[in-house]
Structure 1
């Protein structure tokens, strides 16, 4: 699987008329899925995604009340090839999550093959909260992330999503300039081996701070709470270790390698079960870290745009190198 199908940010809005306008066929499709007397009264572009156009639609009712929906449309030619798969996965995941207690958007409608819209699209409810990528309050947020991931893995959908696929191979890894050569060579050798056996779980497959929304129940970071988990386009069936590894990599690059190493422990403290053998855990951690090597430039750009200007491509590469080296130096 690619490193980050779409880190969703639901907090940064613009309302430029041209950019925010919904295309005619898509607008007609949206209108068919509204309640009697409702209409779209405002549209806003949501920034921060990589693969899709995201818009927040304010829906007005006859009594003057409003509610918000989110429209995701795949437009870029490169991503259109996978739009049917991604939107199908997301629609299936949102349907499976309804009533589970996992805070996720509710599915309103999906048009994965653009049968009605100009481009493949999905309409869902808007979730409150914001992404938090700052270092402050991390001690509080990491256990919350771990508990939320345990809850996701406890979901037992009636229909399983597709089995997870890891696209990174030993030949596609991009070793950063100046990296610890011996550590990276050893890490690449790890993923040359067959994947360990595992007990399947329902996976988000892109669970990381950019896809988790937080709200505050009191002043200060200590009052943080998770209000939503978004971007389910990569939902899969596979080992819990893979979701844990993906969040670990993101924490390592956002906040430093020690936080990536800490997340597996937090997951177990929250009641999650990982592979019994240290070598098997390492396999998944290393595989996801090496997958990130192929998309450092994109990930660093998204994080800078989200308010972390110090995370240059070089800075992220250095943190990735330190994290991979730490994984390979760990006992076992």
Structure 2
């Protein structure tokens, strides 16, 4: 069974594993590769149901050798997050099954329910979507797990930052100096840890996003415990690179307008903003490619690097 879009087929062991988690008389009749996955292959499975209708499930499989060694950790973390979010105000996929060590599948895999909606990465309608994103993130941070998930990962160090060609070297040197300092103290929150437009599904009834609503949040493999500022900084960086540097600061403002609480001191906020934007410097090429595959053809690696440089420079200029 070959995926649409020419993706590699789902292996027979994985198909058999999925089938064991279907209802009697259901069968898999199609698979379709979904865009946007960076660390894993994501597919929508079409299932024929006993009443003659269809339903969909989503299969995430870690097939890249560089990701397989951490797949067990990531899949267990995502499975725990999906179980936690069931019954909360945060709409996430429902967990169906997980095979984190590839005991049954060709690759470590997770099977979950399919959510309606689509990702929206266009500039048009962004002003209406940003407050929705902010309110959704506030709701995520309001989740209080009975058992605290593992601590967040920083994802970069001062010594691994990749300064873009032609960047403002003085601003980047100052930014790198910021993250050499110890992390500020913070009040922990439940974090998505990769909250950004590519992981949020929307129902958009009109071209200009009037009446848009969020239908769910996906990709919980990095769910963890840490400062709200870090999730906000991550979405801010992504918005700055997707839509222009000014949108990074606008998202932080929208988060507070929605009732979210960030670090009180400007220097502490800057630490998390800079830490996330510098982490992005190490994966610009991968991120840009994913966005181009999703329809943003103009976002070449160079274009994204230039926006990242402008964003980092703006953060440091604001510090004075």
- SS of alignment partner, residue 321 of structure 1: helix
2:4 aligns with 15
What do residues 147-182 of structure 1 show as CA deviations (whole Å, max 9, x unaligned)?
000000001112222100113111101111111111
Match of 1:121 among 109, 118, 122: 109
In structure 1, distance between residues paired with 2:39 and 2:319: 38
In structure 2, distance between residues paired with 1:322 and 1:228: 31
Structure 1 residues 135 and 232: alpha-carbon distance in aligned structure 2, compared to 1, 3 A threshold: same
Map 1:91-110 to 2 at 5 A: 91-110=79-98
Match of 2:264 among 258, 261, 276: 276
Alignment of 1:323 with 2:296, yes or no, is no
Query: What is the TM-score when the length of structure 2 is the normalising length?
Result: 0.96
Please report how far the alpha carbon of residue 219 of structure 1 lies from its aligned counterpart in structure 2 after TM superposition: 6.2
Alignment of 1:33 with 2:33, yes or no, is no
CA contact (8 A) 1:300 1:316 kept: yes
In structure 1, distance between residues paired with 2:97 and 2:146: 20
Match of 1:304 among 283, 286, 292: 292
In structure 2, distance between residues paired with 1:173 and 1:248: 18
Aligned length: 319
CA contact (8 A) 1:183 1:325 kept: yes
**Structure 1 unmatched ranges of 5 or more:** 1-12
1:7 aligns with none
Query: What is the TM-score when the length of structure 1 is the normalising length?
Result: 0.93
In structure 2, distance between residues paired with 1:267 and 1:317: 25
Alignment of 1:67 with 2:55, yes or no, is yes
1:3 aligns with none
CA contact (8 A) 2:36 2:198 kept: no
Map 1:181-220 to 2 at 5 A: 181-217=169-205, 220=208
In structure 2, distance between residues paired with 1:159 and 1:33: 27
Please report how far the alpha carbon of residue 304 of structure 1 lies from its aligned counterpart in structure 2 after TM superposition: 1.2
2:100 aligns with 112
My pick for the range that moved more, 36-45 or 181-190, is 36-45
Please report how far the alpha carbon of residue 220 of structure 1 lies from its aligned counterpart in structure 2 after TM superposition: 3.5
In structure 1, distance between residues paired with 2:189 and 2:314: 27
- SS of alignment partner, residue 222 of structure 1: coil
